[in-house]
Structure 1
Amino acid sequence: SITVVDVKVEGSDERVCGLVINWSPVEMSGLHVDPITVGAKFVIDGTGHDATVARIVQDKLNKRLNTPTGKVAGERSMWADPAEQEVPRKTGEVYPGLYLIGMAATAAHGTHRMGPIFGGMLLSGEKAAKEILEKLKKD
């Protein structure tokens, strides 16, 4: 598997424009192997409850996210009914070039986690894809 170890940024606003990744066994063993950089016009954090990429932006770049607290708030306890509605609502760009979907969006915005219902997850991915496609058409 692969681990995201950093984000790639550019410009004075440090817009996210890619990821720095490494093989998980390399990271776990502490071997000195250079990571791989992957460029992207937009990065989608679908890392689930950990919101890994959002936390990297928050912690390493010391940047404010477009969330109620400006940080990854952490998800609230499971309550599937409202969570099913909130996941797509909270999906979106939280920092220039960085979109959150699914449980990463839930964790960042501090909303309830979901149970075994996944319609909101599918709608979340679809919403992010549509928003990114619109931005790409403008470029």
Structure 2
Amino acid sequence: MPLDERIITEAILETYCAKFKSCLDLDTAVVGGGPSGLVAAMLLAREGFNVALYERKLSLGGGMWGGGMTWNVIVVQKESLRLLTDVGVPVTRFRDGYYTADAPTAASTLAAAACQAGVKVFNCVSVEDVVLREVDGAKRVTGLVLNSSAVELAGLHVDPLVVGARYVIEATGHAVEVLKTLVRKNDVELLTPSGGIEGEQSLWAEVAETNTLRNTREVFPGLYVAGMAANASFGSYRMGPIFGGMLLSGEKAAREIAGRLRDRHEHA
């Protein structure tokens, strides 16, 4: 049968538009497709929630692809191994407490697992703002303002589109871009010690790994931080190419949000 380029275009158009339309009212929107964002999105989707992930770049995986200094191997701790092995990532014991995985395998397998779980992925999409509403007398994040990454890179003035979300997970890493926009444009106080963004400190892997998990929480009503964004928000250290805390952070964010969504549905 001869190929018709118009039908190819029609297939892409209709399928993409249907996917986008299905995400106008989300249970959770995840911003950033690194390891913490992928794990959080995957686990929430597995529970049947409507989840979309927005990634500015073309590929998913964040900083995991490059390992350390482009030497594409990552290190994880025993506590987080199950989050890799459960999706089929091979790991190798290096010595007690230290395990290695091939970085491209880990990044691509986590991305595939999230998609197969039902996460709707929108790559080449940038989040340029949040939607704020007054809910029970207090401001709350209730959605995202989206634009094409190509529009952002070109510096064009093109108006964005909007999706609604009951919860948003900020997983943009060191840049903590969503939170910076929220603070810059609105007179709001965060759930941090100072009420603002505490900022990232220099590298201290042991403390950073512990604090990544501790700092994974709601930073503003409706907005959670996970992964390195959690440490940048609450003022802790960076950790380098060890990824156990990142994976566990995504799991914690998913667990807390799932509990709140279930409670919300039960009392609706």
Distance 1:68 1:75 in 2: 14
Stretch moving more, 40-49 or 10-19: 10-19
- 1:52-111 deviations in Å (ceiling 9; x for gaps): 111122111121111122111211000111111100000000100000000111101110
Partner residue of 1:5? 128
The residue number in structure 2 matching 1:99 is 224
Map 1:68-87 → 2, pairs under 5 A:
68-87=193-212
CA distance in 1, matches of 2:250, 2:144: 19
Could you say which residue in structure 1 is the equivalent of 2:178? 53
Distance 1:47 1:81 in 2: 22
Partner residue in 2 for 1:38? 163
Q: Structure 1 or 2: larger strand share?
A: 2
Give the letter for the 1:37 counterpart. Answer: V
- Identity level (%): 53
Deviations 1:103-137 (A, max 9, x none): 11110111001111111001111111010011111
- Paired with 2:182 and 2:130, the residues of 1 have a C-alpha distance of 7
User: What is the count of residue pairs matched by the alignment?
Assistant: 139
Partner Cα separation in structure 2 for residue 88 and residue 9 of structure 1: 27
Residues 101, 128 of structure 1: 8 Å contact kept: yes
Between structure 1 and structure 2, the one with the greater Rg is 2
Q: Give me the TM-score of the superposition, normalised by structure 2.
A: 0.50
C-alpha distance in structure 2 between counterparts of 1:78 and 1:62, whole Å? 31
Instruction: Give the match's secondary structure for 2:237.
Output: coil
**1:47 & 1:76 partners in 2: Cα distance?**
16
SS of the residue corresponding to residue 77 of structure 1 reads strand
After TM superposition, the score normalised by the length of structure 1 is 0.94
Distance in 1 (CA, whole Å) between partners of 2:131 and 2:207 is: 34
Match of 2:245 in 1: 120
Range 124-133 or range 21-30, more displaced: 21-30
How far has the Cα of 1:14 moved from its partner? 2.2
Q: What is the aligned counterpart of 1:28 among 153, 159, 163? A: 153
In structure 1, runs of 5+ residues without a counterpart are: none
